Amino acid sequence: MLTFHAADILKSVPVDVAGAGMPDDIVWIDAHSPTDAEVAFLKRAVGAEPPSLDRMMEIESSSRLYRTRDALFATIPLTKHETSGASVTVPLAFVVAPKALVTVRYDEVKSCAPAQVGAMLGDRSIDGPFGVLITILETIVDHIADELERVTAALDANSHAIFADLSSGGGPKTKGGGARATLVKLGQARDFTSHIAESLLSLGRMSSFIVGEAAHALPGEARARFERLDRDVVSLTGHESRLSEKVQFLLDASLGLIGVEQNDIFKILTMVSVVGIPPTLIASMYGMNFKNIPEYDWSWGYQYGLGLIALSAVLPLLWFKWRRWW
């Protein structure tokens, strides 16, 4: 599906894709899963064929950033949340042609929502395809910043849950299903930040590529905005690195605390088994059916046996207490 936007605050314009061209005031064409007929129209109207999904999925730099005649091609991976909470990357391609900017995507991308792009374009307008391109890139950076803020808040909540009550002598909130849920959330956060890092890396490379290849066509204001964009990308990259370190720390802390809890459980089980061994030995000894066991003829033999069993159980407990093992 092709959506055409004119320069007037990205007003949507109907265009017949069966025709040979399009109105002169079109500055942005959003191609969502374009068909063969729509690809042919773009090739006729814009003078450049949009990349296929297979080419957009390639990871080498020469497939993501290249030039053909007067058109610049750039592809960046963007992060998307699934309903399960996991994150995946979806490619977004830009075709910067002299007539218009073409964005190619095969999935929903919030950064290409006309309402968001139009709101930013109204405040920071630059004529032509480069103006829309910079606005979309700024929208992507703003969206990434919002996502990193959300991850920061989620990590703070997870950190509080992991280390809750430790300072007051209580136990961490890592028992049972809570530990599994915490590890899943931290794993998803780590996966998400790695996807964000990939997007930021691609944004930085794309910005340098566009400025270098289109130096003669960029106005001064566009250069200044690309420089601000680069600074924002560098800042967000540093923030993402710190978040990744925090996620790794919380993962290590969670696994360490779970290991401590398991050791405590094994210690309790070990003490219980040690306490139970002497009474079992005494009971089994007096349970033998021999006629020459003298305690059988004692008047208080039964009470003697019970007392000996109790004493053999209490002595190990006192020993553990004296050694401060519990």
The C-alpha atoms of residue 285 and residue 282 are separated, in whole angstroms, by 5
Over residues 159-178, mean pLDDT: 61
**Least confidently predicted of 48-52, 178-182, 193-197:** 178-182
The tokens describing 17, both together, are 């894709």
What's the confidence (pLDDT) of residue 234?
Answer: 92
Helix or strand or coil: residue 137? Answer: helix
The tokens describing 324, both together, are 């401060």
The tokens describing 193, both together, are 């930040």
- Residue 9 pLDDT greater than 60, yes or no: no
Burial bucket for residue 203 (CB in 10 Å: 0-12, 13-18, 19+)? buried
Helix or strand or coil: residue 60? Answer: coil
Report the DSSP pairing between strands 26-32 and 101-105: parallel
The C-alpha atoms of residue 7 and residue 300 are separated, in whole angstroms, by 106
Q: Which residue has the higher pLDDT, 300 or 84?
A: 300
- Residue 7 pLDDT greater than 80, yes or no: no
Radius of gyration of the chain (CA): 34
What are the structural domains, with CATH classification, of the chain? 2-261 (3.30.460.20), 262-322 (1.20.58.340)
Going by the DSSP 8-state scheme, the letter that residue 6 receives in this structure is E
Average pLDDT, the chain: 81
Question: Are the C-beta atoms of 94 and 75 separated by less than 8 Å?
Answer: yes
Question: Are the C-beta atoms of 5 and 29 separated by less than 8 Å?
Answer: yes
The C-alpha atoms of residue 244 and residue 26 are separated, in whole angstroms, by 42
The residue with tokens 């033999």 is 301
- Residue 21 pLDDT greater than 70, yes or no: no
Helix or strand or coil: residue 239? Answer: helix
Q: pTM of the full predicted structure?
A: 0.75
What's the confidence (pLDDT) of residue 231?
Answer: 92
- Residue 156 pLDDT greater than 70, yes or no: yes
How wide is the angle at C-alpha 285 spanned by C-alphas 283 and 286, nearest 5°? 70
What's the confidence (pLDDT) of residue 83?
Answer: 72
Over residues 138-150, mean pLDDT: 89
How wide is the angle at C-alpha 27 spanned by C-alphas 22 and 33, nearest 5°? 75
How does pLDDT run across 226-263, given as a tens digit for each residue?
Answer: 889 899 999 999 998 998 888 888 888 888 887 877 78
The C-alpha atoms of residue 127 and residue 124 are separated, in whole angstroms, by 10
Burial bucket for residue 170 (CB in 10 Å: 0-12, 13-18, 19+)? exposed
Helix (H) or strand (E) holding 80: strand 71-81
* Alpha helical stretches, state H, 113-168: 114-123, 128-163
How does pLDDT run across 207-229, given as a tens digit for each residue?
Answer: 888 888 887 777 777 788 888 98
Reported as a pLDDT band with limits 50, 70 and 90, residue 13 is: low
